[in-house]
């Protein structure tokens, strides 16, 4: 069932197309049908997606078996900081290798390839409008794909037209950065192994509609999509995927007749075709894609099962911590230790463990009093990301 008219310009959509909700350049696999017309789609990809995805180039250039499906051969260049003999230099990097470092080359009077430098960190420019717009666009697309009425979402959308032609599209939804307000979330984000994944959680709370977005397990934000949710409506959806292709063994296909092809096509959800090598390629792709789609429950549960005894013991020594810990456990997990997804990242517990709070609003209140914990958390997450990327490129 496709949308009949473009959400941006209102023209009838005559040519059907699929769009990636999280940009394909970022390895996003979730596709949605027909959000807009081809012309508006062009505007979005060149004016919103391109500057946004560029911010993540250092990550993309460093992931093995990255899940991007289009233009798989193009590898982006990016910048960062390198060290040589205890001095730091700004450098341009590609494929985890330093391609130019003007200051150091000048000092040493030689080609950078002859100098053994070490990559220390990468540049991520997240304090600009391109970043906020890109995050908001993901939230907007996910909500539309999940059937949220356009009228509920249009408050944050600003479309400038001259006549029937689009001049500019801007997304002005308020954005709140995430940081953990309870001991379970602190543990999950900072004490478990770092893995790369994207998640999206769309949820309503009273008259508000939020989308929590986590890109690369590092860039975590709440987007306030609406404050005019009709009374009595309840929305909850989540999506999670890993970012590395998983090499799965190909199934042996016993094909003796066209009927067998039809059976396999249905089983793996691919288009049937008579060319057997092409057909098995399609099945292989379908399996790879499916293996990357994960559910939020299994990601979080596996992180929780890694909680060391000493972490628990440490918490037990502090009564206040223990109460908050117990209450958060009770909020997030059922009696079988299974995650209750509807509560995860949507609600949290007040510091004294007595009140249930809306997570985004609680963060908003905290950061208006003191921004330091958020800053510290953001730095810690970046450090974990950079460490994992720099280790790989060494
Ligand atoms: Zn359009």
pLDDT in tens, 29-70: 888 877 888 888 889 999 999 999 989 988 887 776 676 666
Instruction: Kindly report, residue by residue over 204-260, the tens digit of the pLDDT.
Output: 999 999 999 999 999 999 999 999 999 889 999 999 998 876 555 666 778 778 888
With respect to residue 3, please indicate whether it lies within any of the assigned structural domains. yes
Domain count, the chain: 3
301-311 mean pLDDT: 83
Ramachandran assignment for 337, one of left (phi > 0), alpha (psi -120 to 50 degrees), beta (any other): left
Q: Is the domain of 46 the same as that of 113?
A: no
Distance from Cα 19 to the centre of ligand 1, integer Å: 14
With respect to residue 315, please indicate whether it lies within any of the assigned structural domains. yes
With respect to residue 246, please indicate whether it lies within any of the assigned structural domains. no
| Among the ranges given (147-151, 154-158, 223-227, 264-268), the one the predictor scored with the smallest mean pLDDT | 264-268
Distance from Cα 146 to the centre of ligand 1, integer Å: 20
Q: What is the pLDDT of residue 71?
A: 63
Among 105, 122, 139, identify where a domain stops.
122
Residue that the structure tokens 């970046």 belong to = 382
Q: Is the domain of 92 the same as that of 52?
A: no
* Whether the Cβ atoms of residue 84 and residue 48 lie closer than 8 Å to each other: no
Q: Is the domain of 40 the same as that of 141?
A: yes
Q: Is the domain of 36 the same as that of 137?
A: yes
Q: Is the domain of 29 the same as that of 101?
A: no
Compute the distance between CA of residue 250 and CA of residue 288 in angstroms, rounded to an integer: 10
Residue that the structure tokens 């090499």 belong to = 247
Distance from Cα 140 to the centre of ligand 1, integer Å: 15
Distance from Cα 8 to the centre of ligand 1, integer Å: 5
With respect to residue 158, please indicate whether it lies within any of the assigned structural domains. yes
Residues 6+ apart with CB under 8 A from 252: none
Q: Which of 200, 193, 196, 183 is nearest to 238 (CA)?
A: 200
Q: Is the domain of 159 the same as that of 303?
A: no
Residue 168 confidence (pLDDT) above 80: yes
Q: Is the domain of 141 the same as that of 96?
A: no
Distance from Cα 76 to the centre of ligand 1, integer Å: 29
Distance from Cα 41 to the centre of ligand 1, integer Å: 7
With respect to residue 360, please indicate whether it lies within any of the assigned structural domains. yes
Residues 6+ apart with CB under 8 A from 209: 143, 148, 152, 153, 202, 203, 224, 225, 226, 229, 235
With respect to residue 116, please indicate whether it lies within any of the assigned structural domains. yes
Distance from Cα 44 to the centre of ligand 1, integer Å: 10
Write out the residues surrounding ion ligand 1, Cβ under 5 A. Answer: 6, 8-9, 36-37, 40
* Whether the Cβ atoms of residue 384 and residue 190 lie closer than 8 Å to each other: yes
With respect to residue 275, please indicate whether it lies within any of the assigned structural domains. no
- DSSP secondary structure of 258-321: HHHHHHHHHHHT----S-HHHHHHHHHHHHHHHHHEE-HHHHHHHHHTT--HHHHHHHHT-HHH
Q: Is the domain of 146 the same as that of 49?
A: yes
Residue that the structure tokens 């005019």 belong to = 228
Distance from Cα 169 to the centre of ligand 1, integer Å: 10
The bridge status of strand 18-20 relative to strand 31-33 is: antiparallel
Residues 6+ apart with CB under 8 A from 327: 182, 349, 353
* Whether the Cβ atoms of residue 299 and residue 339 lie closer than 8 Å to each other: no
Instruction: Kindly report, residue by residue over 372-383, the tens digit of the pLDDT.
Output: 999 999 999 988
% of the chain exceeding 90 in pLDDT: 40
Compute the distance between CA of residue 190 and CA of residue 334 in angstroms, rounded to an integer: 23
Q: Is the domain of 302 the same as that of 387?
A: yes
Distance from Cα 29 to the centre of ligand 1, integer Å: 23
354-363 mean pLDDT: 94
Could you list the residue range(s) of the whole structural domain that residue 19 is in? 1-56+127-172
Q: Is the domain of 110 the same as that of 132?
A: no
* Whether the Cβ atoms of residue 341 and residue 238 lie closer than 8 Å to each other: yes
Residue 1 confidence (pLDDT) above 60: no
Q: Is the domain of 325 the same as that of 383?
A: yes
pTM: 0.83
What's 182's DSSP letter?
Answer: S
Q: Is the domain of 161 the same as that of 87?
A: no
**Could you tell me which residue, 369 or 121, shows the higher pLDDT?**
369
Q: Which of 348, 356, 265, 288 is nearest to 67 (CA)?
A: 288
With respect to residue 229, please indicate whether it lies within any of the assigned structural domains. no
% of the chain exceeding 70 in pLDDT: 93
């Amino acid at each position: 069932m496709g949308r009949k008219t473009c959400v941006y310009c209102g023209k009838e959509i005559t040519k059907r197309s699929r769009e990636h909700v999280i940009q394909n350049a970022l390895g996003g696999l979730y596709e949605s049908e027909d959000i807009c017309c081809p012309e508006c789609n062009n505007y979005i990809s060149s004016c919103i997606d391109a500057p946004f995805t560029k911010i993540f180039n250092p990550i993309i250039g460093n992931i093995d078996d990255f899940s991007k499906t289009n233009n798989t051969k193009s590898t982006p260049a990016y910048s960062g900081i390198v060290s040589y003999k205890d001095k730091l230099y700004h450098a341009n990097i590609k494929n985890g290798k330093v391609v130019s470092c003007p200051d150091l080359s000048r000092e040493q009077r030689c080609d950078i390839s002859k100098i053994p430098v070490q990559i220390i960190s990468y540049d991520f420019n997240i304090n600009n409008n391109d970043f906020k717009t890109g995050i908001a666009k993901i939230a907007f697309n996910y909500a539309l794909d999940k059937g949220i009425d356009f009228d509920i979402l249009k408050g944050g959308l600003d479309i400038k037209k001259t006549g029937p032609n689009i001049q500019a599209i801007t997304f002005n939804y308020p954005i709140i950065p995430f940081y953990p307000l309870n001991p379970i979330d602190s543990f999950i984000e900072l004490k478990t192994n770092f893995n790369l994944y994207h998640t999206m959680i769309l949820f309503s709370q009273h008259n508000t509609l939020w989308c929590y977005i986590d890109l690369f397990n590092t860039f975590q934000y709440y987007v306030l999509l609406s404050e005019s949710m009709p009374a009595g409506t309840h929305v909850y959806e989540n999506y999670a995927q890993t970012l590395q292709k998983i090499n799965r063994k190909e199934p042996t296909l016993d094909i003796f007749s066209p009927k067998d092809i039809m059976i396999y096509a249905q089983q793996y959800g691919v288009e049937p075709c008579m060319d057997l090598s092409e057909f098995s390629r399609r099945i292989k792709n379908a399996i790879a894609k499916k293996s990357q789609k994960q559910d939020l429950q299994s990601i979080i549960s596996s992180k929780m099962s890694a909680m060391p005894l000493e972490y628990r013991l440490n918490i037990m020594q502090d009564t206040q911590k223990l109460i908050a810990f117990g209450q958060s456990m009770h909020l997030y997990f059922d009696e079988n230790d299974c995650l209750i997804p509807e509560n995860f990242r949507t609600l949290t517990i007040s510091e004294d463990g007595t009140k249930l709070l809306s997570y985004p609003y609680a963060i908003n209140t905290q950061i208006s009093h003191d921004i330091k914990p958020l800053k510290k958390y953001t730095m810690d997450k970046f450090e974990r990301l950079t460490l994992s990327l720099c280790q790989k490129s060494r």
